[in-house]
Amino acid sequence: MSAQESQVWFITGSSRGFGRALVDAALEAGDRVVATARRPEALAADLAGYGDRVLPLALDVTDPDAARAAVEAAVARFGRLDVLVNNAGYANVSPVETGADGDFRAQFETNFWGVYHVTKAALPVLRRQGAGTVVQFSSIGGRVGGSPGIASYQAAKFAVDGFSRVLAAETAPFGVRVMVVEPSGFATDWAGSSMTVHDVPDAYDATVGAMNRLMRQNTAGAAGDPRRAAEIIVRTVRRGEVPGHLPLGVNAATMALDHAHRRLAEASAWAEVSRSADFGEPYPVPLPSQAAG
């Protein structure tokens, strides 16, 4: 299929945020869309004007049987899948020490296992076609980490990244491309109505509490425009090549570059020590000097 032909998108978490912006952008580009959400009723009414180019479907991404059924319904309607977007996800706030185990696990079920279930359901279709693009929504935190209060969310995003790197290596011979999207702060419900903030003990106010105030009580709002981001993704997917990772937003670009520089500097400083662990290498070798202070 050439980049100019109509493509079929399968998008999870389509009712709001990035998912909804992507539905609109793909339809405006002339493509066809399978728009999935837990409750797609309102979405169906909003998109009625697009006629048979859009198929709203109910989907709980944590249910593997439902994921397979949704993919089957999509192929039955449109005959193929060209772009799979795993967007559904959410984050709740609590320190690791005091957060409820069940809440941590429930977030992981959606943020990682949901990606796994939907991707696995779509892979036989993409492999048989010999073409397709998988777009995995992560966050810039899924690259750099360390945001207090959202350990489950960031752990899942790191897992999605590792999963996607293996997926890319396994499916490249079939013509399947994988792109991990890494946004910074965008004007979506992610840090609003989609997020539950649990009790933050005083001992964690300087870390979890401060991050929560930065995310939820910033009157300036997030800098990122979901519509622009969606249009960028649609344009990028129509290219012959896609990046393995696509940071979106000023903060995402800045943090990605800073993280890469720091990791390179650290790896370089410890390279001689790292090599010395192998048989046949000089050993022992001096450890790098410590920074003053």
CA 13/CA 190 separation, integer angstroms: 12
- The one catalytic residue among 15, 147, 157, 204: 157
DSSP the chain: --TTS--EEEESSTTSHHHHHHHHHHHHTT-EEEEEESS-HHHHHHTGGGGGGEEEEE--TT-HHHHHHHHHHHHHHHS---EEEE------B--TTTS-HHHHHHHHIIIIIHHHHHHHHHHHHHHHHT-EEEEEE--THHHH---TT-HHHHHHHHHHHHHHHHHHHHHGGGTEEEEEEEE-SBSSSTTTTT--B----GGGIIIIIHHHHHHHS-TT--SB-HHHHHHHHHHHHTSS---SEEEESHHHHHHHHHHHHHHHHHHHHHHHHHHTTSTTS--S-PPPPPPP-
Does residue 138 have an active-site annotation? yes
Burial of 68 (0-12, 13-18, 19+ CB in 10 A): middle
- The one catalytic residue among 153, 164, 184, 204: 153
Does residue 157 have an active-site annotation? yes
- The one catalytic residue among 94, 138, 139, 184: 138
Helix 64-78 with 114-129: angle, nearest 10 deg: 30
Show which residues are catalytic: 138, 153, 157
